[in-house]
Chain A
Amino acid sequence: MQWGSLAEFVAMGGYGLYVWISFGATALCMGGEVLAVWRRSAAAAASRDES
């Protein structure tokens, strides 16, 4: 392990902004997609029960 402290880890050798935006955006997009598909399947299941 090359990180001496949490602050060092967050700083990512000065590239923290770029690294965390990349990982954050990826996590957000994936989470958002899962949520969207989940809601879509809930809506589909609800419409199926109606009929």
Chain B
Amino acid sequence: MSTTGTNWFKYSSPQAFHPLAGRLIPWFAAAAIGLSGVGLYLGFFVAPTDATQGDAYRIIFVHVPAAWMSMFLYVMMAVWAGIGLGLNARPSFMMAQAIAPTGALFTFLALLTGSMWGKPTWGAWWVWDARLTSELILLFQYIGIILLRSSIDDLRRADRASAVLALVGVVNVPIIYFSVRWWNTLHQGASVSITAAPSMAGSMVTAMLVMTLAFWMYSFAVTLARMRCVIVERERQPSWGKPAAIPDVAEAR
């Protein structure tokens, strides 16, 4: 490494990114484990029982972080997809590819834990209200993007097609977020927002935020690890890195 300063752009090449990600993953993983330990302790032993929902409300400590990550990861995926399309940057597409499965997982978990919460508090596993329906659509979007990618053999076409689909679908994210305000939903409104004081006890909010941070660290660790897999897998593709591939690419355009 040079002593005159770090050129961060060099990490935009997969060959340099691979070892960097490898060094970062253990830190993110350790942070995820530590923070979830603290978050679970706060959530189960410090936060009081809710006056109206009893202890069922404790599902919030996985439900809200999972739901937030499902939306946040979608936006991240769409941003990388957009950068990939705009700059024709292969690593950006790979990043989008690496994020998709984790986003889908968190969407599934948000829906599952939500129904676990809905049954005791609303009396129904599922209702077709705006929040739940738009989140279900988000799950289908993730699955659609993953399937579209895997159904196209040509990597460049797969990258571009799934990036376009990811970008178009980003319109659903604000719909999910604001659905509880725009429509009269059974799902409760936001308990925490930037503009207003939280509508729950401080220790509950703290536990929820710590769990969210833990999920965040987990997502970083897992997507970076998957990114490393994608880099190596693509290296194995015959078109990778050979000078002979360049005229082929030029011809294909």
A interface list, Cβ under 8 A from B: 1-3, 9, 12-15, 18-19, 21-23, 25-26, 29-30, 33-34, 37-38, 40-41, 44-45, 47-48, 51
The smallest beta-carbon distance between A35 and chain B, in angstroms, is 11
Looking at A29, A37, A41, the one whose CB has the most chain B CB atoms below 10 A away is A37
**Closest Cβ–Cβ distance, residue A34 to chain B (whole Å):** 7
Residue of A nearest to B108 (CB): A29
Given contacts A15-B56, A18-B56, A29-B109, contact A2 B62 (CB under 8 A): no
Q: Across the interface, which residues of B come within 8 angstroms of A30, CB to CB?
A: 105, 218
Q: Are B236 and A19 in contact (CB under 8 A)?
A: no
CB distance from A45 to the nearest CB of B (A): 7
Q: Does B154 contact A (CB under 8 A)?
A: no
- Which of B188-224 touch A at CB < 8 Å? 218, 222
Interface centre among B48, B54, B59, B105 (most CB of A within 10 A): B59
Expressed in whole angstroms, the Cα–Cα distance for A38 and B226 within the complex equals: 9
> Majority SS of interface residues in chain A?
helix
Which of B82-90, B169-177, B227-235 faces chain A?
A: B227-235
> When the two chains form their complex, are residues B117 and A2 in contact, meaning their CB atoms are under 8 A apart?
no
Pick the contact of A25 from B44, B112, B117, B218 — CB < 8 Å?
Answer: B112
Closest chain B CB from A25 CB (angstroms): 6
* Alpha-carbon distance A51/B102, docked complex (angstroms): 30
Q: Is the CB of A2 within 8 A of B48?
A: yes
Q: A26-B113, A29-B105 are in contact. Are A44 and B49 (CB under 8 A)?
A: no
| B232 contact from A15, A25, A44, Cβ within 8 A | A44
Number of residues from B at the complex interface, CB < 8 A: 34
In the bound complex, CA of A12 to CA of B59 (Å):
11
Residue of A nearest to B234 (CB): A44
In the assembled complex, 8 residue pairs joining A and B whose CB atoms fall closer than 8 Å, in A order, are: A15-B120, A22-B63, A25-B113, A37-B222, A37-B225, A41-B228, A47-B236, A48-B236
Q: Contacts of B225 on A, CB cut-off 8 Å?
A: 37-38, 41
Q: Contact check, A12 vs B105: say whether CB atoms are below 8 A apart.
A: no
* Most chain A CB within a 10 A radius of its CB, from B55, B109, B226: B55
Docked-complex contact B102 and A22, CB < 8 angstroms: no
Contact pick for B222, options A3, A14, A33, CB 8 Å: A33
CA distance A12 to B116 in the complex (A): 14
Find B58's partner among A1, A19, A41, A47 (CB 8 Å cutoff).
A19
Beta-carbon nearest neighbor of B112 in chain A: A25
Chain A residues within an 8 Å CB radius of B109: 25-26, 29
Contact check, A45 vs B58: say whether CB atoms are below 8 A apart.
no
Known pairs A23-B59, A44-B229; list 9 more (Cβ under 8 Å).
A18-B56, A19-B56, A22-B117, A26-B66, A29-B105, A29-B108, A29-B109, A44-B228, A45-B232
Q: Which 10 A-B pairs have the closest CB atoms?
A: A13-B55, A15-B56, A44-B232, A12-B55, A22-B113, A22-B116, A13-B54, A18-B116, A26-B62, A22-B59
